[in-house]
Amino acid sequence: MLTDPPTDLPHDAVLFDCDGVLADSEATTNEVLRGMLAEMGWTLDARESLRRFVGRAVMDEADVIEEHTGVRIDAAWLAGFRARRDVALRAGLQPVAGAPELVAAVAARYGERVACASGADRAKTEMQLDITGLRRHFGDRVFSGQETPRTKPAPDVYLLAAATLGVDPARAAVVEDSVAGVTAGAAAGAAVYAYCAPDQEHTAPAALRAAGAAVVVSDLAELVPLLLGSGPSAA
């Protein structure tokens, strides 16, 4: 059983998204997807593809893919996509700038009340945590939206993570980077902190705020005082 969190912390737990928050994977994954869509006849530029698909499960977008390609993607197509995606990620995945320092600082204070709750499949999430060296902070507290009834933008994966940790979702903090993820965290009742990289063009800070983010930062280092209680409240 988890021990009670220190009373000087602003939250009872911190739940991190993976892609775009911990692992700098979204551009690589999207390039693989964009290439496969082009092979089926749907040509998208990188920005539009990111806007459409970041933060969402590919299979949840089967209808729109069929609308533009005439092809109904299935389990075999998804397996091929994941295989090509994983090869690309293993070739050069890096952590998001500031993520190792942020997670280490949060884990040092929150202990086992830290989890990774991704909308992606478990194999990808765990692979990325291993490659980036961040897995040691999460142990078995890794959750996949692919294993819940609904993945992001539904709140299921965050509700599952909070329940497993034994905390009220309303007392948890969520760290996200996409509109779908922020929507999921806000729907779970958590305080959502959004990261928007300075060079990010597909999602504007205003869109993250509109989705329910209490705070939007352009540098993960800005979240350290907020999550540890030495900065302005997100309330």
Could you give the residue ranges of the DSSP H alpha helices within the chain? 26-39, 46-53, 62-69, 75-92, 99-110, 122-132, 156-165, 179-187, 205-211, 223-228
Taking the C-alpha atoms of residue 135 and residue 131, their distance in angstroms, rounded to an integer, is 8
Give 34-37's long-range contacts (Cβ < 8 A, gap of 24+): 36/80, 36/81, 36/84, 37/65, 37/68, 37/69
Taking the C-alpha atoms of residue 141 and residue 152, their distance in angstroms, rounded to an integer, is 18
- Residue 235 reports pLDDT greater than 50: no
Taking the C-alpha atoms of residue 220 and residue 187, their distance in angstroms, rounded to an integer, is 23
What is the share, in percent, of the chain residues with pLDDT greater than 70? Answer: 94
Model pLDDT, residue 2:
64
Q: What is the pLDDT of residues 120-132, one digit of tens each?
A: 999 999 999 999 9
Q: What is the mean pLDDT of the segment spanning 102-130? A: 96
Architecture label for domain 13-25+94-228: 3-Layer(aba) Sandwich (3.40)
Q: What is the pLDDT of residues 133-158, one digit of tens each?
A: 999 999 999 999 999 999 999 999 99
- Residue 61 reports pLDDT greater than 60: yes
pLDDT grade, residue 3 (50/70/90)? low
Residue 181 CB partners (closer than 8 Å, separation 6+): 17, 55, 119, 152, 153, 174
Model pLDDT, residue 212:
97
| Mean model confidence pLDDT for the chain | 92
Model pLDDT, residue 207:
93
Architecture label for domain 26-92: Orthogonal Bundle (1.10)
Q: What is the mean pLDDT of the segment spanning 34-54? A: 89
For the entire predicted model, the pTM comes to 0.88
Residue 101's φ and ψ, nearest 5 degrees, are: -70, -40
Q: What is the mean pLDDT of the segment spanning 28-56? A: 89
- Residue 93 reports pLDDT greater than 80: yes
Sheet strand arrangement including 114-118: 142-144, 114-118, 13-16, 172-176, 191-195, 215-217
- Residue 223 reports pLDDT greater than 70: yes
Q: What is the pLDDT of residues 152-186, one digit of tens each?
A: 999 999 999 999 999 999 999 999 999 999 999 99
Q: What is the pLDDT of residues 189-219, one digit of tens each?
A: 999 999 998 877 778 899 999 999 999 999 9
Of 94, 72, 73, 95, the residue nearest 82 (C-alpha): 73
- Residue 10 reports pLDDT greater than 90: yes
Q: How many CB atoms lie within 10 A of CB 39?
A: 10
Helices 179-187 and 156-165 meet at what angle, rounded to 10? Answer: 50
Q: Where are the domains of the chain?
A: 13-25+94-228, 26-92
Model pLDDT, residue 233:
43
